[in-house]
Amino acid sequence: MIKKIIKNITPRFLLKLYYKAWAVLANLVYRFPSRKLIVIGVTGTKGKSTVSNMIWKVLNDNGLQTGMTTTANFRIGDREWINDTKMTMQGRMRLQKLLRQMVRAGCTHAVIETSSEGIKQFRHWGIDYDMAVFTNLTPEHIESHGSFENYKLAKAKLFEKLKGKGTIIVNTDDEYGEFYNSFLAQYHTTYGIKNSADIKASDIQIKPNGSYFIVNDIPFYLPLRGEFNIYNALAAIAVARSFSIDWDKIVKSIADFGYMPGRMEELRSDKGFSVFVDYAHTAESLEKVYRALKPKNGKLIVVLGSCGGGRDKAKRPILGALAGKYADIAIITDEDPYDEDPQDIIDEVWAGLEKENPDMEKYKIIDRAEAIKKAINTAQAGDVVVITGKGSEQCLVTNKGKIPWDDRKIVKKYI
């Protein structure tokens, strides 16, 4: 709270100077480690963590020792651990330290999930990016950036850093793909499903055990559901081909890609229903998760909330409305209220739910553990329970500070 007040009263130019000074110092302390790595920056609104993990998988499988930093997890070679910092892009000192650790471990490549907030705070300063990957762009963090245009332009600074070298890879189906592809680079590669693209998926089949599609007459199997995950895979395929990895090796790596922490992570019950934990916290991502997981025979039971701290308040009733549109049973609960009253946030989400579907079975349960318990105890064989908003995050943030937390552990306790 004190930190937030200081940020609000400090002139913007002084904040920028402070952030940049720390970035310069971090690079000097750790001796510009990115200069010894081929660095791949992944940016966009959704899919960054999954794309980054897929890229890591394909590169590491094929002899390119790779490190990675994402919202969900860190990897250095074969070592992996959960990101418990609640930061997509790490602070300047920590990020440079991780890059130096990658160099010491013998990594030749690094994948960095690069956020607009991180760019705004100069966390990307001094990082020698060789490749920039764009996933998609939808409104998010508007309060922080001041406008959607500022949000879009913040991400553009990653592409500017290439300065005519390296490779730009963009999703050609996204309306902003052309904008990011317009920046100068040595190579440009596009991927997509609908529009013309260098890496284009066709003959798509999405089944309960995963997704099937064809690229360049080559059949692929991805053990994840949802069209959005096919887009994620196409981005990783585009990166792999940029490094001249053989098609058959890419096919194998994509087929071997398992779940990643808190991203459509499935936890099965011996009572015949499935529970999925996912990080989805925007309207677009939530709708895609619901559409991908809604069972043909059975109920969709959802647990959701919305974060506090003044973050994207306008989306709260929209999230509720989506639950009303797709779910059979909805439970609205707490999710990182920060300094706001949790009940106020829940009420705002509930308003959208009530307006969309006043007659559905729905509950307000402020205690997140009790909300998850209610969903699991309600589920029957053939049902799907979807718990969104936190994924693999390791804490709940309240006005009293951070409380240790993991949705997946709560689920395992009750199933």
* Residue-wise pLDDT tens digits, 110-138: 999 999 999 999 999 999 999 999 999 98
* d(C-alpha 331, C-alpha 63), whole Å: 46
* pLDDT at residue 126, as a whole number: 96
Higher pLDDT, 225 or 68: 68
* pLDDT at residue 13, as a whole number: 67
Tell me: do 216 and 347 sit in the same domain: no
Tell me: do 173 and 61 sit in the same domain: yes
Task: Kindly report the CATH number assigned to the domain that includes residue 97.
Answer: 3.40.1190.10
Tell me: do 168 and 307 sit in the same domain: no
The residue written with tokens 């089949």 in the block is: 205
What are 228-256's pLDDT values in tens digits? 999 999 999 999 999 999 999 999 999 99
Mean pLDDT of the chain, nearest integer: 93
Q: Pick from 299, 321, 306: which is nearest to 380 by CA?
A: 299
Task: Kindly report the CATH number assigned to the domain that includes residue 340.
Answer: 3.90.190.20
* pLDDT at residue 145, as a whole number: 74
Q: Flag whether 300 is in a domain.
A: yes
Tell me: do 282 and 394 sit in the same domain: yes
Q: What is the mean pLDDT of the segment spanning 191-210? A: 96
Tell me: do 224 and 332 sit in the same domain: no
Q: Pick from 293, 295, 303: which is nearest to 411 by CA?
A: 303
Quick check: 51 and 236 in contact, CB under 8 A? Answer: yes
Tell me: do 242 and 276 sit in the same domain: no
Higher pLDDT, 11 or 121: 121
Tell me: do 249 and 131 sit in the same domain: yes
Q: Pick from 233, 235, 239, 207: which is nearest to 220 by CA?
A: 233
Tell me the percentage of the chain whose pLDDT exceeds 90: 85
Q: Which helix (H) or strand (E) holds 232?
A: helix 227-242
For the ranges 16-25, 141-150, 349-358, 394-403, the maximum mean pLDDT occurs at 349-358
pLDDT confidence band for 163 (50 / 70 / 90): confident
Q: Flag whether 89 is in a domain.
A: yes
* pLDDT at residue 142, as a whole number: 66
> What domain range includes position 409?
265-414
Q: Tell me the CB-side half-sphere exposure of residue 241, using CA atoms within 13 A.
A: 21
Quick check: 337 and 308 in contact, CB under 8 A? Answer: yes
Sequence-distant (6+) residues with CB within 8 A of 35 are 128
Residue where a domain terminates, one of 231, 255, 279: 255
Q: Pick from 291, 234, 278: which is nearest to 71 by CA?
A: 278
What are the φ/ψ torsions at residue 247 (nearest 5 degrees)? Answer: -55, -45
Q: Which amino acid is at 251?
A: V
Q: Flag whether 327 is in a domain.
A: yes
Q: Tell me the CB-side half-sphere exposure of residue 161, using CA atoms within 13 A.
A: 23
Tell me: do 278 and 219 sit in the same domain: no
Q: Flag whether 260 is in a domain.
A: no
Tell me: do 208 and 341 sit in the same domain: no
Q: What is the mean pLDDT of the segment spanning 341-346? A: 95
pLDDT score of 3 more than 80? no
Residue where a domain terminates, one of 255, 286, 309: 255
* pLDDT at residue 310, as a whole number: 77
State the virtual CA torsion across 261, 37, 128, 50 in degrees, nearest 10.
-20
Q: What is the mean pLDDT of the segment spanning 257-284? A: 91
Tell me: do 228 and 303 sit in the same domain: no
pLDDT score of 92 more than 70? yes
* pLDDT at residue 12, as a whole number: 73
Quick check: 96 and 6 in contact, CB under 8 A? Answer: no
Residue where a domain terminates, one of 235, 255, 275: 255
Q: Flag whether 281 is in a domain.
A: yes
Tell me: do 335 and 240 sit in the same domain: no
Which DSSP letter does residue 286 get? Answer: H
pLDDT score of 62 more than 90? yes
pLDDT score of 170 more than 80? yes
Tally of structural domains, the chain: 2
Tell me: do 176 and 247 sit in the same domain: yes
pLDDT score of 411 more than 70? yes
* pLDDT at residue 224, as a whole number: 94
User: Looking at the whole model, is its pTM more than 0.85?
Assistant: yes
What are 349-365's pLDDT values in tens digits? 999 999 999 999 999 99
Helices (H) and strands (E) counted in the chain, each on its own, are 15, 19
